[in-house]
């Protein structure tokens, strides 16, 4: 589990708590802040899942290419949005290929 997933879970919990407390006391600003933190946490969790997938792929890479694969994974960590969308896109392509064969 990556640090992003842990951080995402913390933001989600904080956001849900703020949102719930805001509803309880009728504070709309607190509700909005909570919704924002909840969304941020879910985004971080998704990015963390993508990085977990990238890390698993790096470990399956032949030993001769592993250093280059780790360098690419390091760059992926610097660009969370591109990485998340890329991993999702590859997953959708693989799913499409698998379902067409049947």
Pairwise CA distance, residues 64 & 54, whole Å? 17
Q: What phi and psi values does residue 101 have, to the nearest 5 degrees? A: -70, -25
For residue 46, which of 81, 93, 91 has the smallest C-alpha distance? 81
Examine the pLDDT at 14 and tell me if it is beyond 90: yes
Examine the pLDDT at 61 and tell me if it is beyond 80: yes
Examine the pLDDT at 101 and tell me if it is beyond 70: no
24-51 pLDDT, tens digit each: 999 999 999 999 999 989 988 988 888 8
Pairwise CA distance, residues 16 & 68, whole Å? 40
pTM for the predicted model, two decimal places: 0.66
Burial of 52 (0-12, 13-18, 19+ CB in 10 A): middle
Q: Indicate the domain borders of the chain.
A: 1-60, 65-101
């Amino acid at each position: 589990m990556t640090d992003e997933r842990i951080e995402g879970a913390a933001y989600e919990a904080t956001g849900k708590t703020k949102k719930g407390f805001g509803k309880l006391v009728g504070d709309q600003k607190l509700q909005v802040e909570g919704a924002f933190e909840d969304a941020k946490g879910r985004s971080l969790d998704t990015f963390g899942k993508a990085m977990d997938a990238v890390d698993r792929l790096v470990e399956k890479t032949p030993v001769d290419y592993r250093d280059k694969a780790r360098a690419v994974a390091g760059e992926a960590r610097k660009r969370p949005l591109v990485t998340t969308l890329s991993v999702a896109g590859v997953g959708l392509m693989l799913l499409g290929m698998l379902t067409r064969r049947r």
